[in-house]
Every structure is written in structure tokens, then in C-alpha cells.
Chain A
Amino acid sequence: MRDVAIIGVGMNKWGELWKQSIHEIFVEAALEAIDDAGVDHIDSMYVGCMSGGLFNGQEHLASVLADYLGVASIPAARVESACASGGLAVKCGILDVMSGASDIVLVGGVEKMTDVSGDAATFALATAADQEYEVYQGVTFPGLYAMMAHAHMHKYGTTSAQLAAVAVKNHANGSKNPLAQFPQLITVDDVLNSVMIADPLHILDCSPITDGAAAAVICSLETTKRIDKKPIVKFTGFGHATASIALHSRSDLTTLTATTEAGNRAFKMAGRTPADIDVIEVHDCFTIAELMVLESLRFFEPGQAGPATEAGLTQIDGKIPVNASGGLKSKGHPVGATGVAQIIEITKQLRGEAGDRQVKNARIGMTQNMGGSGGSTVTHIMEVI
């Protein structure tokens, strides 16, 4: 099967983009990716979007977006795996190129979340949880992660200050990302004194509601020989796994089995281990998620990600830089776009184009994009040739 490279990336400044429609946001990012790649056409397109239906009253999105991008007639598909929709779009594009069915593919993600009220957005997001046996009882997404956090604290002694350290670190990184929604610097005390949403998670432990899009152009490695773009970044592994979407159906509430499985599959395909990874973007929809993901991928032993974060090991100059982009927490979390934005950050890091947040000598990067409370995960490993 064919090797797949990433040759172009595009992403807009994320935030509350009231003046722009979902079409415009997506096309802006897609055009930037196509220009960056320097290609004159794309053969097919995959777009991650969690809920155009509930956020914008618009389904059939792949055709809508292909039309507005001016490429209607190409095969295009919208893929959905809740907050992992973007990562899934990238995986689908890779499979398309690997198979030989397409040569140059646009993979993107978009979510326009502020066209509805906060309550309607909460409802839309909650459809990623078990409607009948979780949401029915009155649980919210912060509530599900809060229950994981409480279980993790009870089992390992993880503290609220350690959770806060994740948010502080990611905002510090995001302050160096011109596209981040919330680039403000915050302190541990700011987090601990912010309003409680679902104990023990404060509002500054939570990622925001965001409008945004991200896109990338990928192609076969042979095709990159025709394109003057150095350095070349190649996908060397990917993994995808599912788990029960109901938190209460899982045997252990302090680990994320889909993340472990998806991680193992990517590591095996790439012939790599966590020790080989120079920079990683993980799905920090809540601060506890970053800690549990790092433990589930075995970057740290169970219970050790909190102390490691407090000790600075996950900072840009630390042992394993995590979420140099600012993560979902600071960069923003337009759910369908997040997984693609992670790929963009790793591409920039590996090309040496990450500016003030550049990780030194980054040659091997990884992404982990998660749906719901952990019911799905998509991982990618990328390397400079």
C-alpha cells in the first residue's frame, strides 16, 4: 500500500465567528490548505463535523461544502464520530490515498457552534453521550468527566491543583498561537477560584464552545516528488478504536480503553513507542482528559500524569511536550475541526514553522482525538522524511 504525505494545511482564527456561515468558515480553511499545498485540484474530500444538523439545521454537508469550495462533482463525504470526527476524516483520507482510489485528498473539519443558544449547544454536545441512560438522568459532559476526575483522585490522589496545571500550561502555549480563541495567560489560582461547573471541574478546567475549521491536503508520497515542498511530512501510523459510550458500562473509570487501543495500533504500524515521540497533541476537552489520555497511551504510568504535569514535564521544553498549540483548552474546540487542527499543529512542528511555540528538534509527532467521554479515539503518528 502507498505511503501518504501531508503537503498543505489551513486553519482560521478560532472564536465566536458570528459574521461567517459554516460554509465560509470551512472554505476559508480549505483554500488556505490548497494554496499551501500548491495543488491545482483535489480528487476527493472528507469533512469531519459532529452535528451540522443540530448546530446549523444543515445535513448533507459534504455536498454543500464541496459546492461552496467550487469542486462539486468530486466524491465528498462527511464523517461523524462526535468530537473525533476530524481525526476520522483524516484517517478516511489516508485510506483513500493508500488504496489508490484518489491521489490528492482534502481532509477537513468544521463546527459552527454559536448559531444556537448555549442550552441548544449543550444539548447537541450531549448527544455524544448515551441519551437514554446518561443524559436522561441529568448528566452533562462536564459531569461525565467530573465523575472520571473524582474516580481518578480517589484511586491515585490526583489533585485539583494538578488538573489546574494542565489548563495553565495549555493557556501558556496558546498565548503563543495567533489562531487560539483564548490566548490569555492564567494561573493555578485563577482555575481554582473560577466557578464550579461539576465538582471537581471548574469552568477553567473545561474547553470552550468555538466556531472554526481546519483543513489539510494529503497525497501519495510519489506525488510529493512533483511538488517543491521541504521538509516532507509523512504519516507512519494511525489507529482507531471504539468503546462503550456510556461511562457506567466501563469496567475502569480511570482509564480510556479506546485511546489505549488506538494508540497501540498506531505505535505498532509506525514501529514506534511513546519514548520515540517528540511532540504530541491530545484531546484535552477537560483537564482530567489530558492526564487520563497520557496515562492511557503510556506516556506516564497510571496516576503519574498529574505530578508530571505539575513538575513541568509536559511543557514545550519538557520531556514530552503536550499540546504546544494550546490544546482544546486555549485554542478552542469546534468539535468536528479539532482532530484536523491537531494534525496541522504537528505538521507545523515537524516543518519547524511553529514560531514561539516550536519544540526543538521535533521529528516524530503524534495526535490523539477522542469522541464523547472516550467512546471513540483516532490517533496518528507523523514523521519528517
Chain B
Amino acid sequence: MAIPNYWRSIPQRYRYEAAKCTGCGKIFFPPRIVCDECASRSFETINLSRYGKIVTFTVIRIAPSQFVDQAPYPIGIVELNDGIKICTQIADCNPDDLKIGMPVRLEFRKISQDGTPGIIQYGYKAVPVK
């Protein structure tokens, strides 16, 4: 990923910053500048809950080159307690033990390395809550 793009998204990747519509309360992650529910253009910044549950998942066995050294890895859609859904890898688990509905929390992790000259990219991964 290009460095300006990575830098722009640090508030989301590191701190789960989302935009909450001051008109209707709908939450957007990543933030938007117009609400698709009430057309309001006024938002406040909130931090998303780090806890949620698995809505669906798969195990990536044939991975893109940046992720080959991690394969096979589980990845899923997690619904956080605020109702926001995100796509995230699920770490520190045996894929065979994962189930839809399982509680997870988000942790700050290395996501990938952008080739030899590129930056190390960080962000969130879900971890099952024991």
C-alpha cells in the first residue's frame, strides 16, 4: 500500500476511529462525509468496541504473495458490539475450532509486509475470547 494511503488510515487501523452521524446515530467505519440513512453531513468521531462475534469465516489456503508465509489463515467478518461489521483475520486459534457466533476481541497486530523496500503494515486481527 502507498505510504500516504497507509498514513491516512492509521486512525482506523490503530485506534478503530469511526464516524457517528449526529443526525440519526448511524456509525460508519471507515468514516464518511455524508450519511446514507439521513443525508446528514455532520459526524462525531468515536472509537469502536473491540469486542464482537464471528458472523462468517473461511480459511485462505491459496494466498496473495504478501500473505503466502501466513497461509493457511482464517479470515472472517466480525460484528462488533456497536453493530459495525469488519473483515479481519482471526489469529491465535485452530481453524477447526472456529464457529459462527464465537466471541472475539480485536488486537493490534502486524498484517503484512509490503515487499522488500515497502513498509510493514499493521492493523487489527480478531482473537477468540476464552
| B-binding segment of A1-9, A135-143, A159-167 | A135-143
Other A-B pairs beyond A131-B1, A133-B30, 9, CB < 8 Å: A123-B64, A133-B86, A136-B123, A146-B58, A197-B61, A198-B59, A199-B95, A248-B86, A253-B55
Question: B interface, by DSSP: helix, strand, loop or mixed?
Answer: strand
B111: contacting residue among A130, A137, A199, A246, CB under 8 A = A137
A231 vs chain B, min Cβ distance (A): 45
A-B contact pairs, 19 of them (CB 8 A): A122-B64, A126-B64, A131-B1, A132-B1, A134-B87, A137-B88, A137-B111, A138-B73, A143-B58, A147-B75, A147-B76, A195-B61, A198-B62, A199-B61, A199-B95, A247-B77, A248-B87, A253-B56, A253-B77
Tell me if B57 and A138 are in contact (CB < 8 A): no
Contacts of A227 in B (CB 8 A): none
Of B59, B62, B89, chain A has the most CB atoms within 10 Å of the CB of B62
A151 to B85, CA, bound (A): 14
A154 to B56, CA, bound (A): 9
Tell me if B73 and A199 are in contact (CB < 8 A): no
Given known A133-B30, A147-B76, contact A138–B58 (CB-CB < 8 A): no
Contacts of A147 in B (CB 8 A): 56-58, 75-77
B1-21 residues at the A interface, CB under 8 angstroms? 1, 5, 9
A142 to B71, CA, bound (A): 14
Given known A133-B87, A137-B75, A248-B87, contact A150–B100 (CB-CB < 8 A): yes
A126 to B55, CA, bound (A): 22
Contacts of B61 in A (CB 8 A): 195-199
B68 vs chain A, min Cβ distance (A): 9
Tell me if A132 and B75 are in contact (CB < 8 A): no
A148 within 8 A of B: yes
- 4 A-B pairs with the lowest CB-CB distances in the bound complex, closest first: A146-B58, A151-B56, A248-B85, A138-B67
User: Which of chain A's residues has its CB closest to B68's CB?
Assistant: A119
Give the number of residues in A that approach B within 8 Å (Cβ atoms).
35
Give the number of residues in B that approach A within 8 Å (Cβ atoms).
33
A143 to B57, CA, bound (A): 9
A137 to B78, CA, bound (A): 13
Contacts of B62 in A (CB 8 A): 140, 142, 197-198
Which residues of A are at the interface with B, using a C-beta cutoff of 8 A? 119, 122-123, 126, 130-140, 142-143, 146-148, 150-151, 154, 195-201, 246-249, 253
Tell me if B60 and A140 are in contact (CB < 8 A): yes
Given known A133-B30, A138-B63, A246-B87, contact A148–B56 (CB-CB < 8 A): yes
Tell me if A154 and B100 are in contact (CB < 8 A): yes
B104-123 vs A, CB cutoff 8 Å, 1 = contact: the mask equals 00000001100000000101
Contacts of B57 in A (CB 8 A): 147, 150
User: Which of chain A's residues has its CB closest to B61's CB?
Assistant: A196
B65 within 8 A of A: yes
Given known A132-B30, A137-B88, A247-B87, contact A150–B58 (CB-CB < 8 A): yes
Contacts of A133 in B (CB 8 A): 30, 86-87
Given known A132-B9, A198-B60, A199-B58, contact A139–B85 (CB-CB < 8 A): no
A166 vs chain B, min Cβ distance (A): 18
Contacts of B55 in A (CB 8 A): 151, 253
B87-101 residues at the A interface, CB under 8 angstroms? 87-89, 95, 100
A142 to B59, CA, bound (A): 10
Contacts of A253 in B (CB 8 A): 55-56, 77
Given known A132-B5, A246-B87, contact A137–B58 (CB-CB < 8 A): no
User: Which of chain B's residues has its CB closest to A142's CB?
Assistant: B62
